[in-house]
Amino acid sequence: MASEYNKPFEERLSIWETKIKLAKANLELWFNNQTLWLAAQSVFTSPEAIEKYPDEYFIFEKLQRIWKRLHRLARDTPEVCSVLKFNFLI
């Protein structure tokens, strides 16, 4: 932000730059986790896995509820910066 025209807005621009960088980092994590989650979901939803690993399945189900709640929150909150500011995302 080296432009002379930025001077009056420097503080606000810095805040927005930080928000955008945080949003980018969180979205990258979200996309990576989505890929991993889909793989884990296919493993833990098979009947054999449920029988063989009941404790792990219980943990998976708990995380599944959190994951779905997070997706509903994102769906219902159209402003990306509003969603990504929640502490439980980090």
Owning domain of residue 69: 9-89
Q: How far apart (Å, rounded) are the C-alpha atoms in residues 22 and 20?
A: 5
Assigned domain for 74 exists = yes
Assigned domain for 41 exists = yes
Assigned domain for 2 exists = no
| Count of structural domains within the chain | 1
What is the signed CA dihedral for 79, 80, 85, 88, rounded to 10 degrees? 120
- For the residues 65-71, what does the mean pLDDT come to? 88
Query: How far is the first Cα of the chain from the last one, in angstroms, to the nearest whole number?
Result: 27
Q: Which of 6, 9, 22 has the alpha carbon at shortest distance from 85? A: 22
Assigned domain for 78 exists = yes
pLDDT of residue 90: 44
Q: Is 0.75 topped by the overall pTM? A: no
Assigned domain for 3 exists = no
Are 1 and 14 in contact by the 8 Å Cβ rule? The answer is: yes
Assigned domain for 77 exists = yes
